[in-house]
Amino acid sequence: MRVTNLHLHRSLLSFMTIVAILTSCGDRSASNGAEAPLAVRSYAILMDSLTAIAAEAPGEVGIAVVVDGEDTVTVNNDDKYPLMSVFKLHQAVALCHELEGQGSTIDTVLDIDRAELAPDTWSPMLRDCTETRFALSARRMMEYTLMQSDNNASNLMFRRLVSVARTDSFIATVIPRDGFAIAVSEAGMQRDHDLSYANHSSPLSTAMLLERLFNDSILSSGDRDFVCSALRQCRTGVDRISAPLVGEQGVAIAHKTGSGYTNDCGELMAHNDAAYITLPDGRHYSLVVFVKDFSGNEQQASMLISKVSDITYRFLMRR
């Protein structure tokens, strides 16, 4: 398995600019032959471990780890991984901003006709709301998308509250434009599975969005607290990043998963998890693992992501 684009960064400014690459897989010492700083040499151990996992996987694996908004380890950090439902994080952030700009709130209520919803897609909302017509707030619909990855709720909010294009444009003001693209809704991907590749991101780009959401003022405090709380209550993909952390005292996990269709080669197009994790001592880290074109099953892909999470957590707890 080819492994490219491996870097170990220390960002001394905001995530809008990664100011220095201190080491890479091919050169971990300074140009004058001096030994690399202790912190860099330490993180190189983590990078080597994650690189080995990616190299052995029957598919493409991209990883980003950002510790305390500063130290950054990436493996295969190309902007080519289908986001799948991870893009519902981007959607929620953009929607909150859109409503704030309109002088409205996430408690805005929509009247919904059941006939405008797709009966053949993943939708706990459709299961719960059995009436022909019903009303839900944007807040409740985002709970469905962030906590249960509801496709109908996502499609509805794109159609009636903030478009795919406006979502893409706003997120490009939060994180660098060259690291992601949001171009299609769940409805579009359901019609043509190949369109799943049109919503793509590098692992670091999504990690940067998590970092900015949890630590910067890109939304009002109330909206930010709501989105962060919903991510902490995510019920999907519990066998991925969160699996090795369950039961660990004082560890808080917020995450958004994404799962893909099967391509013409019988491979999983995508199997993803993006998490913001707080440790008992107050430190935090973002961990994003994207798996693309994986020639195994979902359980195997989840085990790979869980292994990355376990290694990262154990490494940081030893520091």
Range of the domain at 79: 7-101+123-318
Domain annotation covers residue 200: yes
Domain annotation covers residue 118: no
Q: What are phi and psi of 61, to 5 degrees?
A: -125, 125
Domain annotation covers residue 112: no
Which tokens belong to 88? 């519902």
d(CA 1, CA 244): 26
Domain annotation covers residue 131: yes
Residue 1: predicted pLDDT: 31
Number of domains in the chain: 1
d(CA 287, CA 216): 18
Domain annotation covers residue 110: no
177 closest CA partner among 216, 131, 140, 209? 209
Q: pLDDT per position in the chain (319 positions), as tens?
A: 333 334 555 432 333 333 333 233 333 333 344 555 556 668 999 999 999 999 999 999 999 999 999 999 999 999 999 999 999 999 999 999 999 999 999 999 999 999 999 999 999 999 999 999 999 999 999 999 999 999 999 999 999 999 999 999 999 999 999 999 999 999 999 999 999 999 999 999 999 999 999 999 999 999 999 999 999 999 999 999 999 999 999 999 999 999 999 999 999 999 999 999 999 999 999 999 999 999 999 999 999 999 999 999 999 999 7
19 close to 13: Cβ distance less than 8 angstroms: yes
Domain annotation covers residue 113: no
d(CA 24, CA 9): 9
Instruction: Catalogue the long-range contacts made by 96-101 (C-beta closer than 8 Å, 24 or more residues apart).
Output: 96/219, 96/220, 96/223, 96/224, 96/226, 96/227, 97/170, 97/218, 97/219, 98/161, 98/162, 98/166, 98/170, 99/138, 99/161, 100/219, 100/220, 100/223
Domain annotation covers residue 115: no
List, by residue number, the catalytic residues. 85
- Assign 3-class secondary structure to the chain: CCCCCCEEEECCCCCCCCCCEEEECCECCCCCCCCCCHHHHHHHHHHHHHHHHHHHCCCEEEEEEEECCCEEEEECCCCCEECHHHHHHHHHHHHHHHHHHCCCCCCCEEEEEHHHCCCCCCCHHHHHCCCCEEEEEHHHHHHHHHHHCCHHHHHHHHHHCCCHHHHHHHHHHHCCHHHEECCCCHHHHHHCHHHHHHCEECHHHHHHHHHHHHHCCCCCHHHHHHHHHHHHCCCCCCCCCCHHHCCCCCCEEEEEEEECCECCCCCEEEEEEEEEEECCCCCEEEEEEEEEEECCCHHHHHHHHHHHHHHHHHHHHHC
Domain annotation covers residue 246: yes
26 close to 48: Cβ distance less than 8 angstroms: no
Look up the CATH number of the domain holding residue 210.
3.40.710.10
Residue 319: predicted pLDDT: 78
Report in angstroms the alpha-carbon separations of 181 from 73, 143, 234, 284: 22, 23, 23, 26
d(CA 105, CA 119): 29
Q: What are phi and psi of 224, to 5 degrees?
A: -60, -45
69: Cβ contacts below 8 Å, ≥ 6 apart:
11, 15, 211, 215, 284
